[in-house]
């Protein structure tokens, strides 16, 4: 069986696959040996893959490199089933590559826009068998925190606060400005992509995807586990 780790900026997702079948999945903000061993209990792990946007904790490496035949960390040296048209592959986030791999497996040969609404919002472009690169912008919480931190009096707001537009008070104005700004951004990315390609596929994922999906005006495929699925695909491809 395959053990898959996606270590993000705030949350780590761990899954166990039997081939393409996902047997278990959990998300946590605090990893520990105990939590990993508990979730692995009852599974015979043959292969492991890790994608991390930060330094991988030593205890994870120590735990997973013992008695597991195949171990892989996603990097620019990973074998991929598609070409990467990116000038600095060493700086390309492994979570972005994993999402593209998941999209490639799901929609082979298609024009795909992958929108990952996490700590940052990434827009990645897959054209047939070539990853064309993408864009990065601040995510929801990053925008709220920036308004609070870099001004003298603006309060810290989050997306759960009810708002209307135009805002009638400061908290309302901030909530509406940030949420609507992101929605305008996402909708325009999608509209432009749809205008350029006759039969595009649009994928939305990421921690804020569930909140944003209800308000996007275009047809999208909401795939919260596309990164994990893509990592399992990369693992199998590199283990061949």
Residue 78: what pLDDT?
Answer: 95
CATH fold for the domain made of 104-222? Nucleotidyltransferase; domain 5 (3.30.420)
Instruction: Render pLDDT for 203-213 as a digit per residue (tens, 0 to 9).
Output: 999 999 999 99
Annotation marks residue 46 as catalytic? no
Q: Where are the domains of the chain?
A: 104-222
pLDDT at 189: 97
Q: What is the pTM of this model?
A: 0.91
Cis preceding-peptide flag for 166 (omega within 30 of 0): yes
Task: Assess contact for 112 and 196: CB atoms under 8 A.
Answer: no
> Do 34 and 41 meet the contact criterion of CB atoms below 8 Å apart?
no
- For the stretch 55-67, pLDDT in tens is 888 888 887 777 7
Per annotation, catalytic residue among 58, 85, 95, 199: 95
Which ranges of the chain would DSSP assign to H, the alpha helix? 33-40, 58-64, 94-106, 140-149, 170-196, 209-213, 226-239
Predicted confidence pLDDT, tens digits, the chain (240 residues): 999 999 888 788 989 999 999 988 888 877 777 777 777 778 888 999 999 988 888 888 887 777 788 999 999 999 999 999 999 999 999 999 999 999 999 999 999 999 999 999 999 999 999 999 999 999 999 999 999 999 999 999 987 778 888 888 999 999 999 999 999 999 999 999 999 998 999 999 999 999 999 899 899 999 999 999 999 999 999 998
pLDDT attached to residue 68? 84
pLDDT in the model for residue 147: 97
């Amino acid at each position: 069986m395959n053990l898959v780790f996606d270590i993000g900026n705030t949350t780590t997702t761990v899954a166990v696959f039997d081939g393409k079948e996902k047997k278990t999945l959990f998300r946590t903000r605090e990893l520990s040996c105990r939590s990993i061993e508990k979730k692995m209990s009852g599974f015979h792990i043959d292969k492991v893959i890790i994608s991390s946007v930060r330094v991988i904790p030593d205890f994870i490496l120590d735990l997973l490199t013992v008695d597991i035949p195949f171990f892989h960390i996603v990097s620019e040296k990973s074998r991929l089933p598609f070409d990467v048209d990116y000038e600095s592959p060493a700086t390309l986030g492994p979570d972005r590559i994993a999402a593209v791999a998941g999209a490639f497996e799901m929609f082979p040969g298609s024009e795909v826009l992958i929108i990952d609404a996490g700590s940052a919002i990434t827009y990645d472009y897959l054209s047939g068998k070539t990853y064309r690169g993408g864009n990065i912008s601040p995510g929801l919480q990053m925008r709220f925190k920036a308004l609070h931190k870099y001004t003298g009096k603006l309060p810290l707001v989050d997306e759960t606060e009810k708002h209307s537009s135009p805002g009638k008070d400061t908290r309302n104005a901030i909530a509406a400005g940030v949420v609507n700004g992101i929605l305008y951004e996402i909708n325009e990315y999608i509209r432009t992509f749809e205008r350029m390609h006759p039969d595009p596929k649009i994928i939305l994922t990421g921690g804020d995807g569930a909140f944003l999906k209800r308000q996007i005006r275009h047809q999208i495929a909401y795939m919260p586990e596309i990164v994990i699925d893509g990592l399992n695909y990369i693992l199998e491809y590199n283990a061949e």
